[in-house]
Structure 1
Amino acid sequence: MSGVTTAGLARADNSIVFTTEDYPPYNFKENGVDKGVGYEQVVLMMKDIGIPYSIEMMPWARAIALAENEQMTCVFSTAHIPERDGRFKWVEPLLIDRNIIMSRKGSGIKVGNVDEARHYLAGTQRDDYTQSLLERQGFPRIDLAADLELTIKKLESGRIDLMPVSEKFYHKLVAEGHPLEKQFVLTEQKFAIACNKAMPDDLVTKMQVSLDRLIADGTQARIAAQYGLGPVN
């Protein structure tokens, strides 16, 4: 379900607006159809609790800004990191994943830790959780692009040296033939639904209870397996 995005409509009919980005295998569009590990869980949750909703895919910076600033709006699949903790109400976990540092294959770069990686130019998309991650790790030079696709193109063309990314997304990119190689594991992160602070607590609780059921009955694990992802732990 996609299309309606304005918070004005959400307030008018008391529905919830979900925003997300194109970030396989968590949420993405394939042949005009929205899908993904996070997407499918959100759809099942909202059908379960019977509350009207809409889902719209858009650039990440806009997606997370709408959730932070517009009532009755949530964004997924959102890394729950310290910098975001108090800015939202959380429904989690949609998945737990590791974040890695990757480089262009054949670049000659070999780094095994953050201290070594800081000597290189790292890049990511603006307002993504990885921007805060790089800043927190003290990277002195960070190139910020408008979206994920542009950052990957910069990495593959040699305009940047390193890029942090979900380990599961990295494996998907390699399987698609992208000339990339993993350098080292940077962090582990929990992916979640982040809702506006004004979202009524009873709605957040209903979503959490529904997600807990998906986890308990094995539905979440089955969805993850369909997208080639390991079990959530």
Structure 2
Amino acid sequence: MKKTAVLFALLAPTAALAQEASLNLFTEINRPYSYMEGERLSGHAVDFMKEALARSGVMASMELTKWSRAITLAEQQDNTCVFTTARTEEREEKFQWVGPMYTSSEYLLQRVGSNTDVSSLEEALTKTIGTQAGDYTVQKLKKQGATNIDLAADQSMTLKKLKAGRLDYAIVWGNAAAAATESGELEVAMEASQTSVYLACSKTTDAVLIEKLDRAIHSIVDDGTRDAFMSKYDQ
């Protein structure tokens, strides 16, 4: 996949530029949260982060890449963050957490009309469930007792496997489930769990930037701007 980086300008006096480092922001293809529309980064999580940068006056580059790379860079590099990231027990001490941006459900998707013999989550967890390497859903599925987890490089590959009949289910979160079922080939089988998702920043990210972005993100949620962004992509 081609990597795409965009620089968002800092809306602040020149003097502030000398005092603050810019951020490196990473995200993944996860429609409708973040994806490429032609040559442009799109999605309501991308709009959310652009608004957070504008309100906070923080300069940042934004790049779409594989999730495994994004989460690794956010863990290891100074002034580096990844969105949208589930806050889990395993990740808690690895990042500074900004938000939350969303509270979301995870859903099991299936091919339309399949798995008619399954009537509960417990039964579904005995089937082959696809997700992506490095995603928080891997540990969630293991904790829930999943016995056959199939890993792919990204969510699009997992969904291709599901459509081809190589998986019983794929797990996705939030209204990404609605996007994945638009073609009519897939349907939501059941809700699997719930999680809050954040902007996750490296432990060495500047605390001043963290504080500014945290205030901006909370204001976007509180004043309804986030919901407006989401509604735009539901149309």
Q: Same fold (TM over 0.5)?
A: yes
SS in 2 for 1:82: coil
* Selected match of 1:226 from 210, 219, 232: 232
**Which of these residues, 114, 133, 145, is aligned with residue 138 of structure 1?**
145
Q: How well do the aligned residues superpose, as a CA RMSD in angstroms?
A: 1.9
Q: Of the candidates 170, 175, 197, which is equivalent to residue 191 of structure 1?
A: 197
Tell me the matched-pair count.
Answer: 220
How far, CA to CA, are the matches of 2:48 and 2:125 in structure 1? 37
Contact 2:107–2:190 (8 Å) recurs in 1: yes
- Correspondence 1:90 to 2:93: no
Q: Which residue matches 1:73?
A: 80
Q: Which residue of 2 aligns with 1:7?
A: none
The percent identity for this pair of structures is 31
Which among 122, 130, 147 is matched to residue 154 of structure 2? 147
Q: Note the alpha carbon deviations across 1:115-174, whole angstroms, 9 max, x for none.
A: 201321111110112112111212121111111111111111111111111241111122
Match of 2:5 in 1: 2
Give the Cα–Cα distance (whole angstroms) in 2 for the partners of residues 112 and 85 of structure 1: 34
Aligned residue type for 1:103: Q
Give runs of aligned pairs for residues 136-175 of structure 1, distance below 5 A: 136-175=143-182
Query: TM-score by structure 2 length?
Result: 0.87
- What CA deviation, in whole Å up to 9, does each residue of 1:14-68 have, x standing for no partner? 2100000011111111121112121111111112222221000001100111001
Moved more, 25-34 or 100-109: 100-109
In the other structure, the counterpart of 1:208 is 214
**Given that residues 79 and 189 in structure 1 are in contact (C-alpha distance below 8 angstroms), is that contact kept between their aligned partners in structure 2?**
yes
1:22 aligns with 2:29: yes
Opposite residue 157 of structure 2, the aligned amino acid is: L
SS in 2 for 1:83: coil
What's the TM-score once normalised by structure 1's chain length?
0.88
Q: Distance in 2 between matches of 1:197 and 1:110?
A: 46
Q: Supply the distance in 1 between the matched residues of 2:195 and 2:115 (Cα, whole angstroms).
A: 28
Cα displacement (A) at 1:178: 4.3
Distance of 1:108 and 1:50 partners within structure 2: 50
Instruction: Return 5+ residue gaps in structure 2 as ranges.
Output: 8-19
The 10-residue stretch of structure 1 (15-24 or 130-139) with the greater mean CA deviation from structure 2: 130-139
